[in-house]
Structure 1
Amino acid sequence: MLSSREARITGLLSTLRQNTHDGDSPDCDVASSSDESVLFIVFTCFVHFCYYMGVMPLDNEGYDQWIWHGESLPSSTSGSRNEAHVNSETHVQNETQTNSQTQADNKENDETHESNEEDDKINNRIDEMMRDMQGDFSEMPHEFKCLFDNAEKPLFSRCTKYTKLTGVLKLYNLKAKNGWSDKSFTGLLELLKDMLPSDNELPNSTYEAKKLCPLGMDIERIHACPNDCILYWKEYKDLLVCPKCGSTRYKRKNVGVRDDKKGPPAKVLWYLPVIPRFKRMFANPKEAKNLQWHAIGRKDDGKLRHPTDSPQWRNIDRRWPEFGTENRNLRLGLCTDGMNPHGNMSSRHSTWLVLLVVYNLPPWLCMKRKYIMLSLLISGPKQPGNDIDVYLAPLIEDLKMWNEGVSVYDVYSRSNFTLRATIFCTINDFPAYGNLSGYTCKGAKACPICQDETPDLWLSNSKKNVFMSHKTFLPVGHPYRKKKQAFNGESETRVAHLPLSGHAIHERVNIVDVAFGKACKTTQKTLWKKRSIFWDLTYWEHLGVRHCLDVMHIEKNVCESIIGKLLNIQGKTKDGIKARKDMVEMGIREKLTP
């Protein structure tokens, strides 16, 4: 028997439902709007209000957070709904568990991640997609209403296995896995639409299929000067000609003829904004929990397993305690390198990628493909080289969120917080190291640590600079320091050069004046080619380690040289006639004289 209050709520709910389907406006001020999207929001809000008042159980125990908006989804989503239920008191207790329990949690997280990967192969996880996008509900009510309608509409009459949305997503998943072109996928859709019953809801083109799910991340397509002088962005966005080199913004069939007609752009930068992607990570309770692993999940025993254990991580926490005390603030690794998207067909083509890695995540997740974010794609055919700062500008602009932060809702802790992010370091090979840092990483003074004091030796036969001061890194009094014939023919009394502080380097690069672009040539003769755009970040000069070399290239180059020498592999060994002649001139290894 319903109470009077429950009866009134139930009656009003039935009135809302009836008017929603019949198109008549209910007798209330808010719902009298002719906008169907407003009525849809009012209806879903009212459903959840009734649930919290105890009238509607919604047939799901543990549902105490508004993440389902009235849509009917497959029964397999009940497990995800229960997983979304997090008790705040239990959350606090879990943070104070012992290390043994932490290890068990880490193992469970790993197994859960593997099972999630299997789930991705089995179904489209529409429920998780809707849950992750709940923050955009107020911004796109019409799109969400269409999405929910497509999730309930059968693919064709009497079809119980697939809805319009699930069918298209499964087909699109096949397209992505197998690398089908849009043209081939359109042909497949047309054929399937002709095979299915005439009342089927399958779209007949790739364009229509993409419109079914308008929840993807935004991509900014920014035109660039073909000589890497500028981006047609901000104050240059309306220009048709580069103000520095005079190159046209668009490709022309007739060289030298300029007109106002727009064609394909001469060069394009694809920028994938990072802030919406950061917000999306915190919209999933599992991902939001993993982002705090560095503070509440890792084993802290003084051993170096993760960037969290590094001195730089601790220095950041000490210097900026407001940043360090918020476990959810992100520390990112930035890496870049060139690639040839055409395989072996054009070996000179170079397209550059800029990737971000989130170091908050545990080591078994942070290097997974799922968590490596592509932020910039710089089109070829020529590499940007020293002008890469021109293309990094949109990313650095967003990463200046260090100063003010961005308001983000954390689903795991059920609270809003101000998110800040920092570039922890960059990771590249040595040539890219020079492009990002601005230091000249070749020639006689190629060491970015020693700089002007780099001890080098020119080999007249091999025609190259070598650096023979390795003994300076040995402890004072080490017996190898006195050995001459075994090394470079000299005893060593010096000590290794200490790296310059960030403040000292900042003073050096501030006096460098450079104009970007392949057509702009500088006459400056300094070790620093430019003031890197990373110095625009207020914290950059205070970092102890700003640029790192990736392990893969060090392993390859060093191991390849050693093995090539030991096994005398043709083309890999460094022991040649020129090297033997250089040793004669140095007065060492007389037994190896040719």
Structure 2
Amino acid sequence: MDEDKIKCPCIKFCNIPYTEVDTVKHHLYKFGFVKEYWCWDKHGKTSIDDDNTFLWVDDSDTNFSECACSYKKMVIDAMAPNLNNSDPEEDPNALDKKFFDMLDAADKELWPGCKKVTQLSVVARLLKIKLEYRIPEQSYDAICQLINDVLPEENNMIGTNGHLARCSRISFKKMHYFPLTPRLKRLYASQAITTSMRWYSENHGHDAGVMCHPSDSEAWKHFDKSHPSFAAEVRNVRLGLNTDGFAPHGAFRKQYSSWPIIITPYNLPTSICLKEPYMCLTALVLGPSNPKHKIDVFLQPVVAELEQLWEEGVVAYDISLKQNFHLIAALMWTISDFPAYAMLFGWSTIGKLACPYCGKHTQAFRLKMVNHPYRKDKNKFKKNREVIEGPPPSKNGEQTLREIEQLGLVKVIELNVDDVNKRCGDHGWKKKSIFGDLPYWKANLIRHNFDVMHIVKNVFEHFLYTVMDVKGKTKDNVAARRDLKLYYRKRKGFEDNERAYYTLDKNQKKVICQ
């Protein structure tokens, strides 16, 4: 080994070439370790401490399912062996100790002398079979009891699943909630990732004024200035909430809506910040219809946990520093497309007041009457007129909350919410957002973000289809040209079937495609 490069122990390179450390990490994630490389003799180690051998089980004779193997890899990652063999300066707290004790199940024999499977692998495989084949809980309990009866008396087989709550009714709309706190604590229990949770506070080496990470943004810096005690502990976690809906059975023409709510920790480096392993699925709202503005009903446990993480925090164990510390987390902003923005923020994004910044100052108008004289007026519209007025001043969180309270709007979880909010009139607001329950929310510089993918994708597609003159997808169609004739002065030489001057010809299209 040299200072910058080590031998790559992945399956593809088998400890032969010297490679940069970051590239080695990428290869290990992609290809995995070379088989039977238990003693790191190619990396300066002569033996492995006996205390750590429980993680390196030779499973060449095992027949674990993919679920069991994946779970075992998670356990190994969470408790990567400490090859320095240094005693911890401090023991984990009681709650975290339960998690570390649970990892012992990765090497716990199902019965004395059993070398083929472990307690953890059996549990993982049984749960996978239960979910894959939709086995009812009573049948699952019976199978577990039968296996328990067949095994020797001194076994570590799990019991029945009777402690799980049962419900005989079919819910119209349901929600699955996955607590966030244990996963945030687990980020600091992993030897492989805990140092990356402090990455944002270090010198990244890029030029000042260049935003390479959310920590370089003005919103991040504003939050640090507003909450200096929170910023003083670099291990405190900053979060972002993402949500979007989709129809999982749309291909089968079945009406069903699925709304995942994902929370992402932004402490991590840019290269892994938005990777799948570090995106925490916190809630999943399922039902035959879109929850729309009543999504706040399902956000209640999420907001309640975020509020608890801010006001009370939680004791976590940092395995890299061998310390217990008080972990606090804060939600920096949400990320969504425009329709989901209306659901989270409470502002109606359809109709005349669709723009949340212009609001009542908007210059948009709608022709409601079929025979309105303006429909055929070609001179009274704003063609060739310049708008020199600037945009209206933006409102901060306190001003927005004050406006909502003055209108008398309430949250959707309140009684008679529909009647109360309707009486408030049409001001663009439809509800009081549940995110206002977070003590720091109104002080955030940026509270909601639009998904760049949706905006860029939609604008680019419309532009490309129009200049490429794609049939059925271009915005320069016959209907659009007839509208121009109806509402504006007719442009000379701009007939229905005439090619527009900005569209590309056949040779130009070939150049673009190449």
| Inter-partner Cα distance in structure 1 for 2:282 and 2:265 | 13
Distance 1:449 1:407, change over 3 A: same
The structure 1 residue matched to 2:363, chosen from 455, 466, 470, is 455
Instruction: Show the 5 A alignment for 1:135-154.
Output: 148=104, 151-153=107-109
| Inter-partner Cα distance in structure 2 for 1:110 and 1:389 | 39
| Inter-partner Cα distance in structure 2 for 1:460 and 1:492 | 24
The structure 2 residue matched to 1:360, chosen from 267, 289, 292, is 267
RMSD between superposed Cα atoms in Å:
4.4
Where does residue 423 of structure 1 map in the other structure?
A: 331
3-state SS of paired residue (1:285): coil
Is the Cα contact below 8 Å between 1:488 and 1:588 reproduced in 2? Answer: no
Distance 1:398 1:310, change over 3 A: same
| Inter-partner Cα distance in structure 2 for 1:458 and 1:107 | 57
3-state SS of paired residue (2:251): coil
| Inter-partner Cα distance in structure 1 for 2:203 and 2:321 | 15
Once the two structures are TM-superposed, the CA of residue 356 in structure 1 deviates from its matched residue by: 0.5
Once the two structures are TM-superposed, the CA of residue 565 in structure 1 deviates from its matched residue by: 1.0
Q: Does 1:520 align with 2:418?
A: yes
Where in structure 1 are there 5+ consecutive unaligned residues? 1-78, 80-103, 224-249, 251-261, 464-483
Distance 1:112 1:307, change over 3 A: farther
The structure 2 residue matched to 1:442, chosen from 350, 375, 380, is 350
What one-letter code is carried by the residue in structure 1 that aligns with 2:405? Answer: N
| Inter-partner Cα distance in structure 2 for 1:436 and 1:542 | 17
Once the two structures are TM-superposed, the CA of residue 150 in structure 1 deviates from its matched residue by: 8.0
Q: Does 1:493 align with 2:388?
A: yes
Q: Does 1:398 align with 2:305?
A: yes
Instruction: Show the 5 A alignment for 1:45-84.
Output: none
Where does residue 592 of structure 1 map in the other structure?
A: 494
User: Which sits farther off after the overlay, 423-432 or 413-422?
Assistant: 413-422
Where does residue 165 of structure 1 map in the other structure?
A: 119
3-state SS of paired residue (1:344): helix
Q: Does 1:180 align with 2:78?
A: no
| Inter-partner Cα distance in structure 1 for 2:242 and 2:189 | 26
| Inter-partner Cα distance in structure 1 for 2:302 and 2:399 | 26
Pick 1 or 2: higher relative contact order, CA cutoff 8 A, min separation 6.
Answer: 2
Deviations 1:213-252 (A, max 9, x none): x9xxxx9x9x9xxxxxxxxxxxxxxxxxxxxxxxxxx9xx
Is the Cα contact below 8 Å between 2:173 and 2:288 reproduced in 1? Answer: no
Is the Cα contact below 8 Å between 1:168 and 1:209 reproduced in 2? Answer: no
Question: Quick one: percent identity of the two aligned structures?
Answer: 28
Is the Cα contact below 8 Å between 1:333 and 1:424 reproduced in 2? Answer: yes
Where in structure 2 are there 5+ consecutive unaligned residues? 1-8, 10-19, 36-68, 82-90, 372-378, 497-514
Distance 1:367 1:128, change over 3 A: closer
Distance 1:589 1:170, change over 3 A: same
Distance 1:337 1:299, change over 3 A: same
Deviations 1:497-516 (A, max 9, x none): 34222222111112342463
Under a length normalisation based on structure 1, what TM-score does the superposition of the two structures give? 0.59
Where does residue 289 of structure 1 map in the other structure?
A: 195
What one-letter code is carried by the residue in structure 2 that aligns with 1:506? Answer: L
| Inter-partner Cα distance in structure 2 for 1:130 and 1:391 | 34
Where does residue 530 of structure 1 map in the other structure?
A: 431
Distance 1:136 1:341, change over 3 A: farther
| Inter-partner Cα distance in structure 2 for 1:356 and 1:430 | 19
| Inter-partner Cα distance in structure 2 for 1:117 and 1:313 | 38
Once the two structures are TM-superposed, the CA of residue 574 in structure 1 deviates from its matched residue by: 1.2
Distance 1:539 1:552, change over 3 A: same
Distance 1:304 1:344, change over 3 A: same
Deviations 1:311-344 (A, max 9, x none): 1111111221111121111111111111223352
Is the Cα contact below 8 Å between 1:503 and 1:541 reproduced in 2? Answer: yes
Where does residue 473 of structure 2 map in the other structure?
A: 572
Q: How many residues align?
A: 413
Deviations 1:39-72 (A, max 9, x none): xxxxxxxxxxxxxxxxxxxxxxxxxxxxxxxxxx
Instruction: Show the 5 A alignment for 1:367-406.
Output: 367-400=274-307, 401-406=309-314
The structure 1 residue matched to 2:318, chosen from 375, 393, 410, is 410
Q: Does 1:309 align with 2:216?
A: yes
Once the two structures are TM-superposed, the CA of residue 265 in structure 1 deviates from its matched residue by: 3.9
3-state SS of paired residue (1:570): coil
Is the Cα contact below 8 Å between 2:77 and 2:191 reproduced in 1? Answer: no
Distance 1:538 1:565, change over 3 A: same
